[in-house]
Amino acid sequence: MAVDMKGKDLIAIHDLSREEVEQILDTAHILKMKQKLGEIYHPLKGKTLGMIFQKSSTRTRVSFEVGMFQLGGHALFLSANDLQLNRGETIADTARNLSRYLDGIMIRTFDHQDVVDLADYSSVPVINGLTDLLHPCQVLSDLFSISEKRQKLDGLKLVYIGDGNNMAHSLMFGGAKMGMHVVICSPSGFEPDPEITRLSRLDATRSGGTITIQDDPVEAVKTADIIYTDVWASMGQEDEHEKRLKSFSNYQVNSSLIENAQEDVLVMHCLPAHRGEEITDEVVDGPHSIVFDQAENRLHVQKAIMALVM
pLDDT digits 0-9 by tens, 243-284:
899 999 999 999 999 999 999 999 999 999 999 999 999 999
**Is residue 108 flagged as an active site residue?**
yes
Please, which pLDDT band fits residue 233 given cuts at 50, 70 and 90?
confident
- pLDDT at residue 68 tops 60: yes
> Which regions of the chain does DSSP assign to beta strands (E)?
48-53, 74-79, 104-108, 126-130, 157-161, 181-185, 210-214, 226-229, 266-269
181-185 and 48-53 as β-strands: parallel, antiparallel, unpaired? unpaired
- pLDDT at residue 1 tops 60: no
3-state secondary structure (DSSP) of residue 302: helix
Quick check: do 13-134+297-309 and 138-295 share a fold?
yes
CATH class of 138-295: alpha beta
- Looking at the domain 13-134+297-309, which fold is it? Rossmann fold (3.40.50)
What lies within 8 Å, CB to CB, of 198 at 6+ separation is none
User: Smallest Cα–Cα separation from 229: which of 211, 257, 251?
Assistant: 251
Of 10-19, 55-64, 75-84, 136-145, the range with the lowest mean pLDDT is 75-84
Selecting among 135, 244, 269, 288, the annotated active-site residue is: 135
Selecting among 23, 54, 138, 294, the annotated active-site residue is: 138
CB 49 within 8 A of CB 74: yes
User: Smallest Cα–Cα separation from 159: which of 141, 146, 149?
Assistant: 146
pLDDT digits (tens, 9 = 90+) for 53-66: 999 889 999 999 99
pLDDT digits (tens, 9 = 90+) for 93-117: 999 999 999 999 999 999 999 999 9
Q: What's phi and psi for 118, nearest 5 deg? A: -60, -45
**Is residue 201 flagged as an active site residue?**
no
What is the value of pTM for the model shown?
Answer: 0.96
- Rounded to the nearest angstrom, the gap between the alpha carbon of residue 190 and the centroid of all alpha carbons in its chain is 19
User: Smallest Cα–Cα separation from 288: which of 240, 200, 238, 225?
Assistant: 225
Q: How far apart are CA 31 and CA 11, in angstroms?
A: 22
Task: Write down the domain spans for the chain.
Answer: 13-134+297-309, 138-295
* Per-residue confidence (pLDDT) for residue 242, from 0 to 100: 85
User: How far is the first Cα of the chain from the last one, in angstroms, to the nearest whole number?
Assistant: 14
Selecting among 23, 59, 169, 270, the annotated active-site residue is: 270
**Is residue 230 flagged as an active site residue?**
yes
Selecting among 9, 203, 225, 230, the annotated active-site residue is: 230
Selecting among 59, 269, 298, 300, the annotated active-site residue is: 298
**Is residue 181 flagged as an active site residue?**
no
- pLDDT at residue 210 tops 60: yes
